[in-house]
Amino acid sequence: MITDRQVLAVTGDWQTDRIGTALRGENPTVLRRLTSGFAVIGDVQFLPGYSVLLVDEPDVQRLSDLPKAKRLSFLSDMDQLGEAVERACSRLDPAFRRVNLEILGNTDPFLHAHVWPRFDWEPADVVGGPVWLYPRERWSDEQVRLGPQHDVLREAIGSELDKLRSRL
C-alpha cells in the first residue's frame, strides 16, 4: 500500500510550498512541530542528519521580520534542533564531530535555519569549510536523496527533540 507520504515524496508538491504543506500536515519531511516553526529533515542526506528549521509564517523572510519574542523563540528552536541532531548523530555515527548552524536565506524566500552535522569521514578538502563548498553533484546525487533508508535517522532526531522539549 502506498502512503500519502510516499505519494507526496514522489510528486514533490511539498517542495514548492514547504511551509504551507507543513501547516496543513502534508509535508513529508516534518520531524516535529516546534514553537516557532517546523523541524524538517533535509532533502539530501550526504551529511546524515542534515535538518532545517522552517518558520511557521510563509511571508517572513528575515529573522528581523519577526517580533522580538518570536525571534527569540525561533533561535531557541534552532538551538533545540541543533542539539537533537548532535545527540542523534553522535549516537548513530562514532565519527560525528559537531553541528554547524546557519541562517542564510539567499535561495529560498522564507526564514529558515540549516543544521549541518559534520563528520571525521568527510573529504579533507571540505571538512574544514562550509558545507556549500561540497561539489554541486553531491546535492543532486540520488544515492543520498531522502528516502526510507533514513527512517532510523528521522526517528532518532525526532526522539531527541521530544526529550529536549519535555524538559522545558
Task: Report d(CA 23, CA 17) in Å as an integer.
Answer: 10
Say yes or no to pLDDT of 8 above 50. Answer: no
Does the pLDDT value for residue 10 go beyond 80? Answer: no
Q: Given pLDDT bands bounded at 50, 70 and 90, which one contains residue 16?
A: confident
Burial of 11 (0-12, 13-18, 19+ CB in 10 A): exposed
pLDDT classification of 108: cutoffs 50, 70, 90: confident
Q: Is the pLDDT of residue 1 over 50?
A: no
Mean pLDDT of the chain: 91
Q: Looking at residues 139-145, what average pLDDT do you find?
A: 92
Residue 46's pLDDT band (cuts 50, 70, 90)? very high
pLDDT at 2: 33
CA-to-CA distance for 73 and 5, rounded, in angstroms? 29
Report which residue type is found at 165: R
CB 162 within 8 A of CB 39: no
pLDDT the model gives residue 36? 97
Q: What is the dihedral of CA 118, 82, 54, 151, to 10 degrees?
A: 70
Tell me, what's the pLDDT at 155?
Answer: 98
Indicate if the pLDDT at residue 5 is higher than 70. no
Query: Is pLDDT at 26 greater than 50 in this prediction?
Result: yes
Per-residue confidence (pLDDT) for residue 4, from 0 to 100: 41
Which pLDDT score is estimated for 12? 59
Give the residue with greater pLDDT, 1 vs 37.
Answer: 37
Q: How confident is the model at residue 133 (pLDDT cuts 50, 70, 90)?
A: very high
